[in-house]
Homo-oligomer: A and B are copies of this chain.
Amino acid sequence: MSEHHTTPPADAAAPAPGSDAVSPREGLGVVHLFCKPGPSYDPESVVAAVKAAEAAGTQVVTVAVLGHKCDLAVMAIHRDLRELRTLQTALQRAGLLVVDSYVSLTEVSEYAAGVAREFLEPRLYPTIPPQGDYRAWCFYPMSKKREAHANWFRLPFEQRKDLMSEHGRSGRTFAGRIAQYVTGSAGLDDYEWGVTLFGVHPDDLKDVVYTMRFDEASALYGEFGPFYTGVVTPVEDVVHQI
């Protein structure tokens, strides 16, 4: 699993200091919008909304999702939360109903202390979609358990760090098959992290999640929310496929 991406920070999207932007001190805002076409759905307005957001510096990936949860997933990244809300409003005005969502921020894990800045930058300022033929896509939110037999937040830092290192090694065996983005949502949404996976093949998604579920960090401590699965598809195409 490739956790790092090599694209430079999307500085073009950074607001000037002192501007009205509502942005994290470090990193970028992320929204996943899970949408269904409503009665006033207008495909061309959806395309226009995405193009306008991109022109404002927002990175956008669109996904044709399988199943009842939604038809179209829109993943968007911008430093200023107000730009993300602007995109959401434009999509709603284009007749999309946002039926589920996830709000998070890019972040560097606390267990990465000591890692050279150059390796952390791609986590704080990622580029989506990842380079390569990653068209199978899934998203799910997750938290760490706080139960009697498994309370992640009562473990010592070193133990948590070791468990996350094991988990990371497990994931890296999927390098070239999976590109992973983990964004933080404590205080922002119902789980503590959002996980977005881009895979070369759909069974890459299944294999990495199944394999990593045996890691102690997941087997004992992981709590998972709903899973969304689909095919990364250019916005011009996907609006006519739903």
Within 8 Å by CB of A146, from B201, B203, B204, B222, lies B222
How many angstroms between the C-alpha atoms of A54 and B22 in the bound complex? Answer: 26
Asked if A95 is at the interface of the complex by the 8 Å CB criterion, the answer is no
How many angstroms between the C-alpha atoms of A22 and B26 in the bound complex? Answer: 36
Asked if A117 is at the interface of the complex by the 8 Å CB criterion, the answer is no
Give the number of copies in the complex: 5
Contacts A68-B101, A153-B213, A206-B187 given: A241-B81 contact, CB under 8 Å?
Answer: no
User: Are the C-beta atoms of A81 and B210 separated by less than 8 Å?
Assistant: no
User: Are the C-beta atoms of B23 and A201 separated by less than 8 Å?
Assistant: yes
How many angstroms between the C-alpha atoms of A98 and B67 in the bound complex? Answer: 7
User: Are the C-beta atoms of A22 and B231 separated by less than 8 Å?
Assistant: yes
Residue of B nearest to A69 (CB): B101
How many angstroms between the C-alpha atoms of A148 and B219 in the bound complex? Answer: 11
Contacts A22-B136, A101-B69, A102-B67 given: A187-B201 contact, CB under 8 Å?
Answer: no
Minimum CB–CB distance for A84 against chain B, Å: 6
